[in-house]
Amino acid sequence: MESKREEEFLRYTEPGLLRRFARNQLAALILILVGMVVVLSLLTRTFLTANNIFNVLRAFSWIAIASFGQSVVIIGGGIDLSAGSNMAFSGIVTAMLLVAGYNVVFSVLMGLLVTLGIGFCNGLMVSKAKLPPFIATLGTMSIIRGFCYGMTQGWPVRSLPRSFMSLGQTDVGIFIWQVPLPAIFMVVFAVLCYILLDKTKLGYHTYAVGGNEYAAALAGINTGRVKNVAFTLSGLLAGMGGLLMTARLGVAAPTAAQGYELDIIAAAVIGGISLTGGEGSVWGALIGAAIMQILRNALVLLGFPAYWQPAAIGAVIIGAVMIDMYRKRKV
């Protein structure tokens, strides 16, 4: 989409198409994804079945949605360790309201509202109290997990109404396929977050604050407000992911999503979002979540011993970041 003026301004030869493709982060990721799919389709008979693909899609959609919010935070220069606890908490709040007889819409809205509020508090701690995001969200992570246990006395909340569970379990007919509803939500949120980051002034400012906070402040950008919005959004989207997860599982457990924040952050990092801030895109996070889930799926289908799976995943995360660093070196 370069304007004609851009093209006439090129005094040096623009690097060839292939090299630009290789340099492009998203292109490289898509290549890896496609590679994995091809290899697995050849190695197993069950990978490329509609059933398996949609199971994979459904499974990573919750992590992906939460990772979009996490991406905005990381691009803005922060990090949100409370994402997993928020995922569990939104499920618990909504479930408890549903069991107490409130209608689905109200319960869902409340569940989202509390995690939005938690995100907002994270934002306040970082922007007003100047707490390092790692510390602020580490504290929130524990506090909210405590609420999960405290409010339920440790018991999972069951007997959720059908209407709620349909959020996580319905399939929508698109052409010849039955696409899981959570996957559709995932794409919708990806598009919304992409538009926010790439096309709006707030998005530009988010990249600026993450890239060089001092320079952004000198340019008159309200860095506190930018960070606040990022953390609030992360809370909201973690809550959204948690709700879909709860709806799918049919039960809200205080132990749910334990440790998920690491998966969420890993999805963003594999997707090329630099932990130092200022670069990356939500599509990368989506592909990162997909890669991780397909990897898990692959390990299962290939009969990899279950206990060793985290080791394989960890190796992939390290490998992905090293490849990305190599790609970004100053050439």
Partner 1 sequence: METALLKEEVPQPILVLRGITKYFGGVHALEDVDFEVYPQEIVALVGDNGAGKSTLVKIIAGVHQPTRGQIFFLNRPVEIRSPHDAQALGIEIVYQELALIETRDVPANFFLGREPVKGRLGIFVDRKKMVDDTVRTLKELGIVLPSLRTLVRYLSGGQRQALAIGRVMPWGGKIIIMDEPTAALGVKESRRVLDLILRLKEKGCSVIVISHNMRHVFNVADRIVVLRGGRKVGDKRKTETTPDEIVKLIVGAEML
Residue with tokens 């530009």: 204
Q: What's the number of CA atoms in the CB half-sphere (13 Å) around residue 228?
A: 13
Q: Which residue has the tokens 């090293």?
A: 322
Contacts of partner 1 in 86-125 (CB under 8 A):
none
> Buried b vs exposed e over 142-161: b needs ≥16 C-beta within 10 Å?
eebbebbeeebeeeebeebe
Token pair belonging to 134: 């790692």
* Residue 17 touches partner 1, criterion: CB under 8 A: no
Residues 98, 216, 238, 243: which binds partner 1 (CB under 8 A)? 216
Q: Which amino acid is at 43?
A: L
Q: What string marks each residue from 253 to 292 as x (binds partner 1 by CB under 8 A) or -?
A: ---------------------x--xxx-------------
Q: Which is nearer to partner 1, 192 or 301 (CB)?
A: 192
Which of 3, 51, 153, 159 is in the footprint of partner 1 by CB under 8 A? 3
In one-letter notation, the amino acid at residue 273 is: I
User: Which bin fits 156, alpha (ψ -120 to 50), beta or left (φ > 0)?
Assistant: beta
Contact with partner 1 (CB under 8 A) among 62, 89, 207, 283: 207
Q: Which of 95, 190, 208, 285 binds partner 1 (CB under 8 A)?
A: 208
Least distance to partner 1 from the beta carbon of 197, Å? 11
Region from 86-94, 97-105, 129-137, 207-215 binding partner 1, contact rule CB under 8 A? 207-215
* Number of residues lying near partner 1 (CB under 8 A): 34
CA distance 192 to 204: 15
CB nearer partner 1, residue 41 or residue 276: 276
Minimum CB distance to partner 1 smaller for 48 or for 195: 195
Q: Which tokens go with 174?
A: 């698109």
Compute CA 102 distance to the chain's CA centroid, rounded to the nearest angstrom. 29
And the tokens for 156?
A: 């999972």
By CB under 8 A, tell whether 220 contacts partner 1: yes
Give the nearer residue to partner 1 in terms of CB position, either 11 or 162.
Answer: 11
From CA 6, how far away is CA 181, in angstroms rounded? 42
**Positions that interact with partner 1 (CB under 8 A):** 2-3, 5-6, 9-12, 14, 199-205, 207-208, 210-212, 214-216, 218-221, 274, 277-279, 330-331
